[in-house]
Structure 1
Amino acid sequence: MQKTALVPYARLPRAHHDRHVLTSTVDVFGAAHWLLAEHAPQPGGDARPFDALVVSVHPGGNVELTELSAVRARWPQLDRLPDGGFVVAAARARRYEDANQVQVFDALGRETSSFSVGDAIENLLVDEAGHIWVGHFDENPAGIRRWSATGRLAWTSDGAGIPGLFDCYALNVSGTAAWACPYTDFPLVEIRPDRPVRVWANRVREGAKAVAVHGDRVVFYGGYGGERDGLAHGELTETSVEATDVGLLTLPDGLVPGRRRVGGRGGRIYVQAELFTAWGVFDLSS
């Protein structure tokens, strides 16, 4: 099986390695962000708000630090807004309608609003227009929804004709559009604000945790069992994704990632292996 190595993309500066990485992401403009705390959260431990640091590494290597005050999510999701602020969300709501589940911070790290998007967040990604896309896992039937940065529901997958949407395994947000590959049928889904949802039957890979799309080409990363580190290539026809090639995605040193974070943005798949201090990238467009 052909191996493809990730290309090193962004690294948390060593000066911050003494802090605990709560979560990390790569935003729609290509900047990598780490949300850091003094200590790792403990199950059943203190749930009081805490101060956190976001370390941002921009394309080109410039580093930016943002202190966030009174963060409430102990196991959070993170992304950056186009105005320089941040969204921090608790993946699990303490109650289904917890008004403090999502916190929005301005560029100075001050909370400006909070609201709920519902329990069981699998993916949270912000687009170029500042909309917050949320994909849920199977303990919340909400599927995929798009919110404004002030908590207004702007789009929902209810009635969108997406087959078998019980868990949003993979979500890719690029520009103002989203691509998804949801459980149980694993179709490839394109969602754009100005047109009906498009759905392609997926003949390539089930169980993928990330998807990237470039023109009429698509790649799925991950899968069940022995396909966990697999990279499955396909081409879009009118109604389906047809397989073209399969391979294995590795870290830059040729090893498989083990525990990892993954994310898709347009034609790119980003992978971050434990200890979660570095991102690698696979670029379908290159």
Structure 2
Amino acid sequence: MPKTTLIPYTRLPRAHHDRHVLTSTVDVFGVAHWLLAESAPQPGGEVLPFDALVVSVDQGGNVERTELSAVRARWPRPDRLPDGGFVLAASRARRYEDMNQVQVFDALGRETSSFSVGDAIEHLLVDESGHIWVGHFDENPIGIRRWSTTGQPVWTSDGAGIPGLFDCYALNVSGITAWACPYTDFPLVEIRPNRPDQPVRVWANRVRGAKAVAVHGERVAFYGGYGEERDRLAHGELTEASVEPTDVGLLTLPDGLAPGRRRVVGRGSRIYVQAEPFTAWGVFDLSR
């Protein structure tokens, strides 16, 4: 199969490599963020609040540092807010029954609000308006929801007519629009919550198991799959009712190797991929 190589995007400055990378993401404006701790979290037992450092790097290499106080989640899902603050969420709510699952921090790293959104978070992505999109996996199949930073649900997939929404395999948030590819039927779903006449559009799709999706105009790309299709990059075009496949290949690291363990983030036409040791992001851009 033909190979497409990721383009190097951003790197964690070497001065911070002595800290443990808890997690990392790329925000809606294309800035990469690393959440760092002094040491790796230990499995089991109570999680005591700890201080963490967010290192933010834009595509031009400019670096910002934000100290967050009293982080509660052992393995948080993070993203940055448009005002410079951050949101962190514990992916498993069951372990945090006596505390709120989501923490919102201001630009100085101080907690300003906290609330719960439900167990089994697969994706957490902030849009340009500062709303928080959450997609859940199948241990809590409640679908996709959009939240305010004070914990008010502002959109929910309940009754939206999305077929087979048991696990939000792929979620892409760009601007204030979300795209999803959920298990079990794997349709391509466009969600525009500010479009009152038709907030949700659904296209039938034959690509199964993708973990990330990118959309540009009438073109779409799905990354990932089951088993030997783990590194698959499948392209398609949108028709009135379905995604029609055009070609399929592999997405590799810049050196041509398979990513192995990785994180992926979908943002508009882009799919960002971060492989071990999780200190660098590469990007595939469907618009190029």
TM-score w.r.t. the length of structure 1 is 0.98
Amino acid at match of 2:240: E
Mind listing any 5+ residue stretches in structure 1 that lack a counterpart? none
Aligned to 2:154: 154
Q: What residue number does 1:76 align with?
A: 76
- The change in CA–CA distance for 1:97 and 1:215 in structure 2 (over 3 A counts) is farther
Structure 1 segment 31-180 matched on structure 2, within 5 A: 31-94=31-94, 99-180=99-180
After TM superposition, the structure 1 = structure 2 runs for residues 8-27 of structure 1, keeping only pairs within 5 Å, are 8-27=8-27
Offset of 1:163 from its aligned partner?
A: 0.2
What value does the CA root-mean-square deviation take over the aligned residues? 1.0
Q: Which residue of 2 aligns with 1:219?
A: 221
Q: 2:232 is matched with which residue: 230, 233, 257?
A: 230
User: How far off is 1:178 after superposition?
Assistant: 0.1
Structure 1 residue matching 2:228: 3-state secondary structure: helix
Task: Report the counterpart of residue 201 of structure 2 in structure 1.
Answer: 198
Question: SS at 1:54's partner residue?
Answer: strand
Q: Distance in 2 between matches of 1:124 and 1:268?
A: 17
* Equivalent AA in structure 2 for residue 255 of structure 1: L
Matched to 1:278, the amino acid is A
CA shift for structure 1 position 81:
0.2
Question: What residue identity is the alignment partner of 2:178?
Answer: A
Aligned with 1:202: secondary structure? coil
Cα pair distance change 1:239/1:172, threshold 3 Å? same
Report the secondary structure of 2:194's partner residue: coil
Partner of 1:3: 3
Deviation at 1:193, TM superposition (A): 1.4
Alpha-carbon distance between aligned partners in 1 of 2:50 and 2:99, rounded to the nearest angstrom = 18
1:285 corresponds to 2:287 = yes
CA contact (8 A) 1:96 1:119 kept: no
Percent of aligned positions with the same letter in both sequences? Answer: 86
Q: Distance in 2 between matches of 1:101 and 1:172?
A: 22
Q: How many Å apart are 1:59 and its aligned residue?
A: 2.5
Larger deviation: 141-150 or 123-132?
141-150
Change (3 A) 1:139 1:98: farther
- Using a 3 Å threshold, how does the CA distance of structure 1 residues 190 and 207 change in structure 2: closer, same or farther? same
Q: Distance in 2 between matches of 1:285 and 1:59?
A: 17
Provide the C-alpha distance between the structure 1 equivalents of 2:273 and 2:98, rounded to a whole number of angstroms.
31
Normalised TM-score (structure 2): 0.97
Q: Distance in 1 between the 2:185 and 2:280 partners?
A: 32
Supply the distance in 1 between the matched residues of 2:38 and 2:97 (Cα, whole angstroms).
Answer: 29
Q: 1:227 offset after TM fit, Å?
A: 0.6
**Does the 8 Å contact 1:96/1:118 carry over to 2?**
no
Q: Say if 1:5 and 1:250, in contact at 8 Å, map to a contact too.
A: yes
Counterpart of 2:40, as a letter, is A
Amino acid at match of 2:243: V
Q: Kindly state the Cα deviation for residue 225 of structure 1 after the two structures are TM-superposed.
A: 1.2
> How many residues get paired?
285
Cα displacement (A) at 1:69: 0.2
Kindly provide the amino acid, as one letter, of the partner of residue 108 in structure 2.
L
Aligned amino acid, residue 172 of structure 2? N
Q: 2:17 is aligned with what amino acid?
A: H
> Aligned letter for 1:129?
S
1:274 corresponds to 2:281: no
Task: Extract structure 1 runs of 4+ deviating beyond 3 A.
Answer: 95-99
SS of the counterpart of 2:166?
A: strand
Q: How far does residue 202 in structure 1 lie from its aligned partner after superposition?
A: 0.3
Deviation at 1:141, TM superposition (A): 2.1
Question: Counterparts of 1:63 and 1:77 in 2: how far apart (Å)?
Answer: 21
Structure-1 separation of matches of 2:133 and 2:8? 27
The runs of 5 or more residues in structure 2 that have no matched partner are none
Seen in structure 2, the aligned counterparts of structure 1 residues 182 and 199 have a Cα distance that, compared at 3 Å, is same
